């Protein structure tokens, strides 16, 4: 800008002719207020609106210059830091000092040293004239009318063709994305006689756990793939068998206080790995649904509506734990195809 | 405009023919011959930007988006969207020899073995947090000042869509490293899809390529995150800014400001200097956050495996309100005829955000229904002058922040040594009460403030002193800076600097524009 | 002019922002990252296992610390009395998982037919010497008997301590949870220990003399631990309650998982093996070596996390991160834009 060479130290704030503050205050903030129009031959160099707002431009200039110098040093240091691989904090400090100082200096330049205005711009209506609007509408209506009225069949055929393509195109776009659910949401790899193993594939023996114990188990052979883990994971607990409330039909599902539930939360599928052994609660770490493990893992608090599916287990002849059958319900969160048969009712204790 | 007349013979002649602006003039001429940019370009350079600070909020969003794109390009060079297992070997010892997905391994590698990789990753993450945050603050400013009113409804709509896309893309980006916490987030996203009645299981299977974990989700998320959504966002930002230029800025009322003008600083050079400097500062702030505040230390979390879980898992803050809604939702489900509707998931995670965003999208229409106001507005409202709108906005913010707070029930309970269950119940009640109270209080404050004349001014303090005789005298304190509210009151009357009648000359060499650089734009 | 501007309108919001931000970040971080100051009863865990030539016996030498090295014990690992005692005090468990019943016999030591030490190369479980019993009784009378009663059989306010094993007693006392500040509170709070480590062992010795039981006080030899395995086991078994960064968090009905940043190796192993309070008890499914791996991961990586990215923000994840992003990121940039948009006329 050209004003920087002007050696104004102070700015005469009384303003040029026409800048009358009394005039403005009288009319208030009303919308119809029109500022006085001043016709200037060319922008006058001493017009206060064309001065920066700084009272001491020299001083401000020096400060900005200093910021720029620090900024340059900062970005140089950033480059140097990269070359020597100085570490994340050094990168951050140099980057910050460099960019922030440069940015601050540039903004201050614009704010204090450039003409301050305020400048005003007229706002013109974007709207076209009524005739133009009507012409547009007429063009749309009448030209469409030509097509539709005279070539109805052709139009129909075209629309049909495009419509059919739209539907057909959806097949490769959507249908090929993945398989249909079918029964996949209802099945797991647990079956009759599945040996319970831990994540390393080690079978679980009845002496492995004391009361208060907790272990994540999988059916043997399926413990190492993510896909199987996601559906098969079960949490094996040992509670005091005297405290265990045996639900109807589940009499032999939890021998000697060993009880196994699906580890997939019935709310949103997080692994329910949080076990409080004194409260005998399984808590979902995601949304804090609480399941009472003593009687069928029915939810007692939180958003989960259904109990954790139970895995019936027994000791084989060598004392290792095996599943009698799969889970008593489909595992995991709710979905439309799921029937709630088998949920049972929460015991009223 | 075509150059006419004799071709210049010497270089000197050629230069003189260009007029006083030399090569710049030549460049302008060449471009103008081809795309006709001189007139529109000059108008653009003169575009007036209001000076009020709240007009900078959208720029924070814009500049953090630019930083996001820049750092994101860097990250794509190292990140591998692969779920197939690899064994990590590298400088972070607790993971050395661990089997993990290729995605996680590449992210750990990026953090530990690529020079500036970690700071880039962290700037990207902080950038996302700040991006969405500044969008929300910007949106709040637009809302409370009524800037969404006719003719700007379309731009408001675009803004809301940008917010939604930013949140989606943030969540997807958060999921890409496939660490323990984000893996849990993907699991939850799958379950949310699954909860949609009729089509849920199909949607979930199609997006994930099969039952969870599907095996292909990271590849799909990746292409959505780096290509599809950014393209849409860039396009919409272009439309957002294009409409802004076309419709011009709104402005606060004040002396000399009318519905028919814009008062402020022109784009070039004042605003350009300020805003470019601001962009550098935004980058600097994100840089300092990226290097000094650790975000998402995935190496501490370890790779995701379905049976593993950490307590206190929360999504990034802009998803927190959905997480909170899921937490405080009672365990309602509907079942019958062999089917289930899991309201406990569907309601808070699909219906609730759907309703919130639809209210936002439809707000200009909703408001018009009550106000019957079909007039074009370019001057902004003061929030207190529209108590009902302000109250509605405050209630909405209170609702969202209460639900957001509910996503940290466990952290709050732990920090204040309260029972988790009680904290949850507190939020279940608060989510209903707090918005109502906030709305009513806001409405009352607005109404009261309207009645106080000159409430914009800060009262001068009175200093009460005791004289030697034991008499008390009150003396007004010295005036302090900020006693006047400059935004609304102390604006000097702007002066139009009328140009001499436009003189059309080749190259514009003889017009007054040459010297002033500031002008009233006449069209 | 710059000074005037600074003084006027940015100072207050900026100061507020800084104060709120720093205050809360610090308070979050300080609670979580207080340096572990407690000394371990075993002093150091640089214990070596040497094969004593000729005998085929492994003799465990405890280096430093107050740990009860029974001088000149009659080492009778295979004596029938010893095995019988091991059967009596131990619990059924696979080999090397905290119970003397199936611990590696070469690591079992008996004195006068009573097991005083057992374990594996990873962990040594030791009984405080019998000379501690008298002092322990006195301490128990002074500090514990008002709730647990003088015979330690428990009351309505406190459980029976018969047969809990020295590790349990040592854990509760050295972590400062016992003596409890308020009996009947939902969960005893961790606080600076009132009794010294030696006094804790004395009390453990007396309680154990009433009904001897395993596990004894573990001494974890973290040297040679597999941190990778430890990290995996931690994520699978521990992070669900203690969080993956070990910060701890609130659990159901007023209970909470404590932070792991204060735990000594011995306390960590005691907690794993005994399952204090609501914590699950890990016995047979975690071998001594696996417990050692987890303990090493906790004391080395959870307590001293690698934070190459800057301040750890308390390790509570996106809650603190969102706070910082909104307050310092958005808030700070709002301040800047406040300055930019301000007309200093």
% of chain A with per-residue pLDDT over 90: 42
Is the pLDDT assigned to residue B281 strictly greater than 80?
Answer: yes
The pLDDT tens digits of the residues spanning B145-191 come to 999 998 999 999 999 999 999 999 999 999 999 999 999 999 999 99
- The closest CB to that of C285, out of A54, A213, A275, belongs to A213
The confidence score (pLDDT) of residue B516 equals 36
Q: List the beta bridge partners of residue A218.
A: A197
Interface contact A42-B492, CB threshold 8 A: no
The confidence score (pLDDT) of residue C344 equals 52
Q: What's the mean pLDDT in B444-468?
A: 70
The confidence score (pLDDT) of residue B471 equals 78
Minimal C-alpha gap between B184 and chain C (Å): 12
Minimal C-alpha gap between C95 and chain A (Å): 10
Separation between Cα atoms, residue B389 and residue C32, nearest integer Å: 43
Check if the beta carbon of residue A334 is closer than 8 Å to that of residue B195: yes
Is the pLDDT assigned to residue C287 strictly greater than 60?
Answer: yes
| Higher per-residue pLDDT: C345 or B170 | B170
- The closest CB to that of B137, out of C247, C307, C330, belongs to C330
The pLDDT tens digits of the residues spanning B293-325 come to 999 999 999 999 899 999 888 889 999 999 999
Is the pLDDT assigned to residue B259 strictly greater than 90?
Answer: no
* pLDDT range class, residue B453, cuts 50, 70, 90: low
Check if the beta carbon of residue C280 is closer than 8 Å to that of residue C206: no
3-state DSSP assignment of residue C289: helix
The confidence score (pLDDT) of residue B78 equals 95
The confidence score (pLDDT) of residue B164 equals 96
- Out of A59-63, B186-190, C61-65, C129-133, least confident range: C61-65
Minimal C-alpha gap between C197 and chain A (Å): 27
Check if the beta carbon of residue A188 is closer than 8 Å to that of residue A327: yes
Is the pLDDT assigned to residue B223 strictly greater than 70?
Answer: yes
Check if the beta carbon of residue A292 is closer than 8 Å to that of residue A247: no
Q: Taking CB atoms and an 8 Å cutoff, what residues of chain A touch B245? A: none
- Out of A200-204, B42-46, C285-289, least confident range: B42-46
* pLDDT range class, residue B241, cuts 50, 70, 90: very high
- The closest CB to that of B345, out of A21, A99, A333, belongs to A333
% of chain B with per-residue pLDDT over 70: 87
The total of other beta-carbon atoms located within 10 Å of residue B417's CB is: 10
Report residue A112 as tokens: 């204090």
Is the pLDDT assigned to residue C184 strictly greater than 80?
Answer: no
- Out of A57-71, A243-257, B167-181, B222-236, least confident range: A243-257
Instruction: Please give the residue of chain C at the shortest CA–CA distance from A270.
Output: C240
Instruction: Please give the residue of chain B at the shortest CA–CA distance from C186.
Output: B419
| Nearest partner of B420 among C115, A290, A316, judged by Cα | A290
Minimal C-alpha gap between B27 and chain A (Å): 20
| Higher per-residue pLDDT: B388 or C30 | B388
A216 touches chain C (CB under 8 A): yes
The confidence score (pLDDT) of residue B457 equals 55
% of chain C with per-residue pLDDT over 70: 80
Q: What's the mean pLDDT in C186-192?
A: 84
Separation between Cα atoms, residue A9 and residue A55, nearest integer Å: 7
The pLDDT tens digits of the residues spanning C251-263 come to 988 899 999 988 9
A92 touches chain C (CB under 8 A): yes
- The closest CB to that of A110, out of B204, B264, B273, belongs to B273
Is the pLDDT assigned to residue B127 strictly greater than 90?
Answer: yes
- What distance separates the 2 farthest-apart alpha carbons in chain B? 95
- Out of B406-420, C9-23, C94-108, least confident range: C9-23
Is the pLDDT assigned to residue C37 strictly greater than 80?
Answer: no
The confidence score (pLDDT) of residue B2 equals 47
Q: Taking CB atoms and an 8 Å cutoff, what residues of chain B touch C9? A: 481-482
All chains having 3 or more CB pairs closer than 8 angstroms to chain C: A, B
- What is residue B251's DSSP assignment? B
Q: Taking CB atoms and an 8 Å cutoff, what residues of chain A touch C214? A: none
Residue with tokens 């606080």: C191
The confidence score (pLDDT) of residue C56 equals 36
The confidence score (pLDDT) of residue A349 equals 38
The pLDDT tens digits of the residues spanning A122-132 come to 888 888 899 99
* pLDDT range class, residue A9, cuts 50, 70, 90: very low
Q: What's the mean pLDDT in C30-49?
A: 38
Interface contact B313-C317, CB threshold 8 A: yes
The pLDDT tens digits of the residues spanning C223-251 come to 888 999 999 999 989 999 999 988 888 89
Q: What's the mean pLDDT in B51-64?
A: 93
- In chain C, CATH 1.10.760.10 sits at 128-215
The confidence score (pLDDT) of residue B120 equals 95
* pLDDT range class, residue C11, cuts 50, 70, 90: confident
Interface contact C318-B317, CB threshold 8 A: yes
Domains of chain A: 8-175 (no CATH), 187-323 (2.102.10.10)
| Nearest partner of C128 among C184, C179, C200, C183, judged by Cα | C200
| Higher per-residue pLDDT: B218 or B17 | B218
| Higher per-residue pLDDT: C17 or B177 | B177
Q: What are the two backbone dihedrals, phi and then psi, of residue B292, each rounded to the nearest 5 degrees?
A: -115, -20
| Nearest partner of B331 among B321, B346, B320, B319, judged by Cα | B346
Report residue C299 as tokens: 């004391």
- Out of A133-137, B201-205, B368-372, B473-477, least confident range: B473-477
Q: Where are the alpha helices (DSSP H) in B179-254?
A: 180-194, 200-208, 217-223, 229-247
Is the pLDDT assigned to residue C221 strictly greater than 60?
Answer: yes
Name the superfamily (CATH) of residues C128-215. Answer: Cytochrome c-like domain (1.10.760.10)
The pLDDT tens digits of the residues spanning A47-84 come to 666 777 788 889 999 999 999 999 999 999 999 999 99
- Out of B14-23, C44-53, C91-100, least confident range: C44-53
Is the pLDDT assigned to residue C58 strictly greater than 60?
Answer: no
Interface residue of C165, C188, C258, C278 to substitute, partner A, most A CBs within 10 Å: C278
Minimal C-alpha gap between A178 and chain C (Å): 30
The confidence score (pLDDT) of residue B495 equals 43
Interface contact C228-B94, CB threshold 8 A: yes
Size of interface A-B (CB pairs under 8 A): 385
Q: Which of residues 15-44 of A touch B (CB under 8 A)?
A: 15-16, 18-21, 23-25, 28-29, 31-43
Instruction: Please give the residue of chain C at the shortest CA–CA distance from A54.
Output: C1
CA distances from B61 to B91, B131, B263, B316, C295 (A): 36, 5, 23, 17, 45
Burial A5-26 (b: 16+ CB within 10 A, else e): eeeeeebeeebbeebeeeebee
* pLDDT range class, residue C61, cuts 50, 70, 90: very low
Q: What's the mean pLDDT in C2-19?
A: 68
The confidence score (pLDDT) of residue A31 equals 45
Is the pLDDT assigned to residue B252 strictly greater than 90?
Answer: no
Q: Taking CB atoms and an 8 Å cutoff, what residues of chain C touch B52? A: 341
Is the pLDDT assigned to residue B411 strictly greater than 90?
Answer: no
B390 touches chain A (CB under 8 A): no
Tell me the residues of C at the A interface, defined by beta carbons under 8 Å apart: 1-2, 91-94, 236-237, 239-241, 251-253, 255, 275, 277-285, 308-310, 340, 343-345
In the predicted model, what is the mean pLDDT of chain C? 79
Report residue A74 as tokens: 């900062």
Q: Which of residues 292-311 of B touch C (CB under 8 A)?
A: 292-297, 299-302, 305, 307-311
The confidence score (pLDDT) of residue A90 equals 94
Is the pLDDT assigned to residue B437 strictly greater than 90?
Answer: yes
Q: What's the mean pLDDT in A26-51?
A: 49
The confidence score (pLDDT) of residue B504 equals 40
The confidence score (pLDDT) of residue B323 equals 92
Separation between Cα atoms, residue A90 and residue A78, nearest integer Å: 8
Task: Give the global pTM.
Answer: 0.85
Instruction: Give the CA-trace dihedral at B63, B64, B70, B74, to 10 degrees.
Output: 170
Is the pLDDT assigned to residue C92 strictly greater than 60?
Answer: yes
């Amino acid at each position: 800008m050209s004003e920087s060479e002007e050696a104004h130290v102070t700015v005469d704030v009384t303003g040029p002719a026409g800048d009358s503050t009394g005039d403005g205050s009288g009319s208030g903030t009303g919308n119809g207020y029109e500022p006085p129009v001043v016709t200037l031959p060319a922008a006058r160099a001493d017009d206060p609106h064309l001065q920066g707002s700084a009272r001491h431009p020299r001083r401000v200039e020096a400060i900005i210059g200093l910021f720029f110098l620090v900024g340059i040093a900062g970005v140089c240091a950033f480059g140097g830091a990269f070359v020597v691989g100085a570490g994340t904090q050094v990168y951050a400090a140099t980057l910050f000092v460099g960019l922030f100082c440069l940015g601050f200096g540039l903004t201050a330049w614009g704010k204090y040293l450039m003409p301050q205005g305020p400048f005003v711009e007229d706002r013109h209506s974007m709207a076209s004239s009524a005739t133009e609007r009507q012409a547009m509408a007429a063009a749309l209506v009448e030209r469409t009318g030509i097509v539709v009225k005279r070539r109805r069949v052709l139009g129909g055929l075209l629309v049909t063709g495009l419509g059919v393509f739209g539907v057909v195109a959806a097949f490769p776009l959507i249908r090929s994305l993945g398989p249909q659910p079918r029964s996949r949401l209802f099945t797991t790899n647990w079956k009759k006689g599945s040996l319970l193993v831990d994540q390393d594939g080690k079978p679980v023996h009845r002496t492995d756990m004391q009361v208060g114990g907790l272990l994540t188990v999988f059916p043997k052979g399926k413990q190492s793939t993510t896909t199987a883990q996601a559906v098969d994971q079960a949490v094996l607990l040992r509670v005091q068998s005297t405290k265990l409330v045996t639900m109807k039909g589940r009499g032999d599902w939890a021998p000697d206080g060993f009880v196994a539930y699906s580890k997939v939360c019935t709310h949103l599928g997080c692994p329910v790995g949080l076990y409080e052994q004194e409260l005998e609660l399984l808590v979902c770490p995601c949304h804090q649904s609480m399941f009472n493990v003593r009687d069928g893992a029915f939810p007692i608090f939180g958003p989960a509506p259904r109990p954790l599916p139970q895995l019936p287990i027994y000791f084989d002849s060598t004392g290792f734990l095996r599943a009698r059958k799969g889970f008593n319900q489909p595992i995991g969160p709710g979905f439309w195809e799921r029937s709630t048969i088998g949920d049972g009712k929460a015991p009223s204790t | 405009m075509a150059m006419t007349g004799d071709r210049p013979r010497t270089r000197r002649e050629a230069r003189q023919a260009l007029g006083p602006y030399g090569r710049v003039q030549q460049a302008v001429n060449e471009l103008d011959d081809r795309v006709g940019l001189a007139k529109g370009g000059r108008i653009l350079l003169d575009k007036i930007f209001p000076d009020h600070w709240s007009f900078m909020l959208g720029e924070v969003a814009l500049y953090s988006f630019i930083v996001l794109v820049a750092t994101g390009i860097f990250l794509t060079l190292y990140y591998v969207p692969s779920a197939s297992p690899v064994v990590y070997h590298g400088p972070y010892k607790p993971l050395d020899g661990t089997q993990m997905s290729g995605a996680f391994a590449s992210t750990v590698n990026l953090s530990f073995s690529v020079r500036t990789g970690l700071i880039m990753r962290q700037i990207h993450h902080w950038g996302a947090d700040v991006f969405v945050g500044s969008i929300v603050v910007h949106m709040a400013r637009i809302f409370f000042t009524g800037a969404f009113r006719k003719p700007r409804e379309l731009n408001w709509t675009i803004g809301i869509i940008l917010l939604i896309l930013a949140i989606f893309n943030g969540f997807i980006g958060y999921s890409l490293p496939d660490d323990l916490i984000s893996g849990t987030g993907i699991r939850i996203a799958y379950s949310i899809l699954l909860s949609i009645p009729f089509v849920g299981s199909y949607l979930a299977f199609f997006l994930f390529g099969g039952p969870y974990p599907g095996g292909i989700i990271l590849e799909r998320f990746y292409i959505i995150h780096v290509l599809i959504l950014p393209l849409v966002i860039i396009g919409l930002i272009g439309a957002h800014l294009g409409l802004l230029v076309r419709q011009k800025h709104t402005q606060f009322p004040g002396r000399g400001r009318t519905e028919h003008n814009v008062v402020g600083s022109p784009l070039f050079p004042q605003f350009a200097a300020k805003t470019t400097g601001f962009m550098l500062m935004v980058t600097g702030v994100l840089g300092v956050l990226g290097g000094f505040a650790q975000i998402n230390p995935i190496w501490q979390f370890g790779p995701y495996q379905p049976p593993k879980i950490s307590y206190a898992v929360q999504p990034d803050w802009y998803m927190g309100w959905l997480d909170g809604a899921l937490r405080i939702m009672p365990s309602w489900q509907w079942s019958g005829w062999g089917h289930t509707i899991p309201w406990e998931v569907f309601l808070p995670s699909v219906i609730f955000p759907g309703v919130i965003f639809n209210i936002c999208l439809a707000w200009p229409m909703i408001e018009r229904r009550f106000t019957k106001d079909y007039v074009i507005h370019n001057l902004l409202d003061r929030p207190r002058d529209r108590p009902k709108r302000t109250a509605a906005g405050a209630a909405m913010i209170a609702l969202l922040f209460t639900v957001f707070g509910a996503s940290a029930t466990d952290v709050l309970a732990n920090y204040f040594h309260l029972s988790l269950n009680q904290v949850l119940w507190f939020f279940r009640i608060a989510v209903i009460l707090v918005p109502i109270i906030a709305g009513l209080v806001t409405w009352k404050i607005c109404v009261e403030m309207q009645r106080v004349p000159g409430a914009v001014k800060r009262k001068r303090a009175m200093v009460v002193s005791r004289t030697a005789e034991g008499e008390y005298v009150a003396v007004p304190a010295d005036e302090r800076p900020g006693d006047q509210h400059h935004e609304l009151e102390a604006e000097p009357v702007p002066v139009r600097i009328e140009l001499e009648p436009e003189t059309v000359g080749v190259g514009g060499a003889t017009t007054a524009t040459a010297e002033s650089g500031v002008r009233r734009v006449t069209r | 002019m710059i000074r005037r501007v600074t003084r006027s309108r940015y100072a207050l919001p900026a100061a507020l922002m800084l104060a709120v931000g720093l205050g809360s970040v610090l308070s979050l971080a300080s609670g979580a990252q207080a340096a572990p100051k407690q000394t371990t009863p075993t002093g150091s865990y640089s214990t070596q296992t040497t094969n004593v030539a000729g005998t085929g016996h492994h003799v465990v030498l405890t280096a430093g610390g107050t740990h009860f090295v029974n001088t000149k014990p009659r080492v009778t690992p295979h004596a029938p009395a010893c095995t019988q005692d091991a059967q009596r005090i131990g619990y059924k468990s696979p080999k090397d998982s905290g119970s003397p019943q199936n611990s590696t016999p070469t690591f079992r030591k008996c004195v006068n037919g009573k097991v005083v030490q057992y374990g594996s190369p990873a962990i040594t479980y030791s009984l405080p010497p019998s000379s501690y019993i008298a002092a322990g009784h006195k301490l128990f009378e002074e500090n514990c008997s008002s709730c647990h009663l003088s015979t330690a059989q428990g009351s309505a306010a406190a459980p029976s301590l018969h047969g809990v094993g020295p590790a349990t007693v040592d854990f509760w006392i050295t972590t400062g949870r016992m003596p409890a500040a308020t009996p009947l509170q939902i969960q005893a709070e961790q606080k600076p220990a009132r009794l010294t480590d030696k006094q804790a062992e004395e009390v453990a010795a007396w309680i154990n003399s009433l009904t001897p039981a395993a596990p004894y006080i573990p001494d974890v030899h973290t040297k040679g631990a597999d941190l990778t395995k430890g990290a995996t086991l931690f994520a699978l078994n521990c992070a669900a309650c203690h969080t993956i960064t070990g910060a701890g968090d609130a659990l159901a009905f007023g209970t909470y998982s404590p932070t792991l940043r204060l735990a000594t190796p011995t306390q960590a192993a005691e907690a794993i093996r005994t399952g204090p309070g609501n914590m699950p008890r890990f016995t047979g499914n975690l071998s001594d070596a696996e417990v050692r791996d987890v303990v090493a991961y906790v004391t080395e990586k959870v307590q001293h996390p690698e934070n190459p990215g800057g301040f750890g923000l308390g390790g509570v994840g996106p809650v603190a991160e969102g706070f910082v992003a909104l307050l310092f990121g958005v808030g700070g940039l709002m301040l800047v834009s406040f300055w930019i948009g301000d007309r200093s006329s």
